[in-house]
Amino acid sequence: MNPARLTALAADRNKDPILAVLKQVLPVSGLVLEIASGTGQHVTHFARALTGLVWQPSDPDPEMRASIEGWINSADVQNVCAPLDLDVRREPWPVQRADALLCINIIHIAPWAATEHLMAGAGSALRGHGVLVLYGPYRREGRHTAASNEAFDEQLRAANHEWGVRDLEVVTALAGKQGFALDRLVEMPANNLMVVFRREPTRSLSAGVGVARP
């Protein structure tokens, strides 16, 4: 066991449902930049299943980057790059071009300015019909989708007044300013959503339309 390798129980619980959606929405080849990869459990799990893609993990926390390297070494995956020190608020990003960008459980555990920088960075980095995939809890039309999400929101804001569950419509509008349209919403376990944006999508959904399911 690599002593640097950390484990998050939530990552074990949600990795397969997330992977099921990624199989539907990611390109068959190209570079996927993951923002704030955390422990590294997700990126190695996804890389084993989606071998046509090259995965670029990143995290601003050196402890997390060490954990990511531990997971890469333990998984013996060949299509995962060494983790980068990437803070979305610090420009320029160390990755200038990507075909897809993945960000899991970050928008609500960061100041709103981080989401603004995330969208701006995605707008600069994603090529052509690049896809931006977000995962986490969201409010819809100004309301929480579950009592558990409302309680979670209160906990977040008590810990840091700049954190909190975001309004999906506001996030969608911010993405729109960078040339992204909402392509699909997928209901996930524990009242989370996967939110998929694309440039020039073949179809787009307004935030008020229903959700898909994997």
Eight-state DSSP code of residue 143? B
pLDDT at 1: 60
User: How would you write the pLDDT of the chain (214 residues) with one tens digit per residue?
Assistant: 677 899 999 999 999 999 999 999 999 999 999 999 999 999 999 999 999 999 999 999 999 999 999 999 999 899 999 999 999 999 999 999 999 999 999 999 999 999 999 999 999 999 888 999 999 999 999 999 999 999 999 999 999 999 999 999 999 999 999 999 999 999 999 999 999 999 864 444 443 344 554 5
210 domain-assigned: no
Residue 208 in domain: no
Q: Is 133 domain-assigned?
A: yes
Residue owning tokens 């919403």: 185
In terms of DSSP bridges, do strands 126-136 and 192-199 run parallel, antiparallel, or are they unpaired? antiparallel
What is the structure's pLDDT at 4?
Answer: 87
Contact 34, 64 (CB under 8 A): no
Q: Which residue has the tokens 């390109």?
A: 27
In a domain, 123, yes or no: yes
Report whether the peptide linkage leading into residue 92 is cis, meaning its omega lies within 30 degrees of zero.
yes
> What CA–CA distances, in Å, run from 128 to 2, 30, 65, 195, 199?
39, 12, 29, 19, 7
- 212 within a domain of the structure (yes/no): no
Amino acid at site 197: F
Beta strands in the chain (DSSP E): 30-35, 53-56, 98-104, 126-136, 138-139, 166-167, 180-188, 192-199
pLDDT of residue 127: 83
Is there a domain that residue 55 lies in?
yes
Beta carbons of 102 and 133 less than 8 angstroms apart: yes
| pTM of the predicted structure, to 2 decimals | 0.92
Q: How far is CA 202 from the centre of its chain?
A: 22
Q: What is the CATH number of the domain that holds 55?
A: 3.40.50.150
Coil/strand/helix, residue 121: helix
Contact 41, 15 (CB under 8 A): yes
Instruction: Examine residue 1 and state whether it is found in any structural domain, yes or no.
Output: no
Query: How many domains, the chain?
Result: 1
Q: Could you list the residue range(s) of the whole structural domain that residue 131 is in?
A: 9-199
Burial class from Cβ neighbours inside 10 Å (0-12, 13-18, 19+) for residue 201 reads: middle
Q: How far apart are CA 195 and CA 159, in angstroms?
A: 25
Q: Do the domain assignments include residue 87?
A: yes
Positive or negative: CA dihedral 79, 97, 28, 214: positive
